[in-house]
Structure 1
């Protein structure tokens, strides 16, 4: 495991106990309500189609709320993550709330060795690919996970959003950070995690990489997949800027001039069969 991955693993391990008790993830809701879905999967569900009996792998699954939600849509789900602490929480949630989810401990680069089988759907939730240094390598791994006719579903923060200075106290959208993939990551230090809880992280350093939209699309094409959908969104799963306002469906948007900046994108692609 290289230094960057070690730093990020320590960061995510320190987030797990906070996320496991945070109202933002709301693990108890899954236990109390057998049909409850995460907000992320509920938003994606109309595009995912009928998952009953489908073999689904959720890459970078964290503590498993989205993973369990996919299983509740009828899929046979495998979750993969590099954090042992996250997988411990995810397994416990699956046992307490059901249905069963298989979890595999592996970093993304280790997936080909850890998962030799193929799947009908590869699902990647919001806030995943920014932790990976090479979008081309990620796309090849994803393509290898898919059976002929299988589908990739990726919804992610828009790379243009990642360029914006989020510490300004005015309404200006100022491009400050990289848009294109760089060899070295950007390093961030934050004492708290994104859930809004006050608890301090024991490992506050994180390293992330940008991946331009065209870079991501081309990586998917070069990996042999056929693009079937590409959509940009004016909503986001979290409040990135202080001036963002809630949309009423659990997401956030610019308070005005929403046409100025894409906040998320969805990409779907199929492996030719």
Structure 2
């Protein structure tokens, strides 16, 4: 990849950006945690429906690793649902808030948070095949230069018979931006595949339209579906289910409209998928 996975300007810029976002997100309506405080969850409908299908009897006794967990709202949601969860994030501000919230909710016995670059996860938790469920969702791999190493880390932690659940924005949607297309739709802005990152100076934040971030520069990578699938396969994981969705849990484009329960989608026709989710399992037979 030609990028140092553990240090460099890309990591410094992205970390400064996400550290600054924490206070913005904690104060935002989008990340309202009322349901968490009431003992419920704030999972989006896509993830909630997938977990309900996979675990019809609930998450009691399920050990979960949540990679790139931000300030832990989804992590603590899983703990409220009965799981024992470890959340990892590279932002010290995010991890501090996650730990504070775990204490507030009385969930510190179920939810542990570790400050670490995701690429260092195996050093922070040197226990292979130790989780029933590895989970990551929404705005994660686009910040990572090497999705193959990410997949190897996921595979390292999943128990035989366990699962990996992943949901994220669709790379077909990420080639667009703004509202400069016909009828106010987004316009082409980025290539579908890029070995070099898009270095973007954008002070806006998706959770609060009024905020101007001081740490505005980010480094982002496109990871096409074929690259993600190949990375998981080469890491020893087989895709059990794959679903494309025409909704996403943030206003990805100005033209998208509220669908309820925090989700956004196209105003009329289903122009192209906005997100996808997959479930992968450890391979039981070698690839020929």
**TM-score calculated relative to the size of structure 2:** 0.88
Structure 1 position 237, deviation (Å): 1.1
Residue 113 (structure 2) pairs with residue 107 (structure 1)? no
Equivalent in the alignment of 1:177: 190
Equivalent in the alignment of 1:128: 140
Equivalent in the alignment of 1:144: 156
Equivalent in the alignment of 1:94: 102
Matching of residues 150-169 of structure 1 within 5 Å: 150-168=162-180
Query: Contact 1:164 / 1:175 at 8 angstroms: preserved in 2?
Result: yes
Unaligned runs of 5+ residues in structure 2 are: 1-6
DSSP 3-state at the match of 1:162: coil
Structure 1 position 246, deviation (Å): 1.2
Q: CA RMSD in A?
A: 1.7
Equivalent in the alignment of 1:271: 282
Identify which of 5, 10, 16 aligns with 1:10.
16
1: CA distance between counterparts of 2:54 and 2:202?
A: 34
Higher mean C-alpha displacement, 22-31 vs 71-80? 22-31
Q: 1:108 to 1:177 in 2, by over 3 A?
A: same
Measured against aligned partners, the alpha-carbon deviations of 1:58-80 in whole angstroms (never above 9, x if no partner) come to: 00000100000011111110000
Higher mean C-alpha displacement, 98-107 vs 39-48? 39-48
Equivalent in the alignment of 1:190: 202
Unaligned runs of 5+ residues in structure 1 are: none
Structure 1 position 104, deviation (Å): 0.8
Higher mean C-alpha displacement, 164-173 vs 88-97? 164-173
Q: How many pairs were matched up?
A: 270
Residue 210 (structure 2) pairs with residue 205 (structure 1)? no
Structure 1 position 29, deviation (Å): 4.3
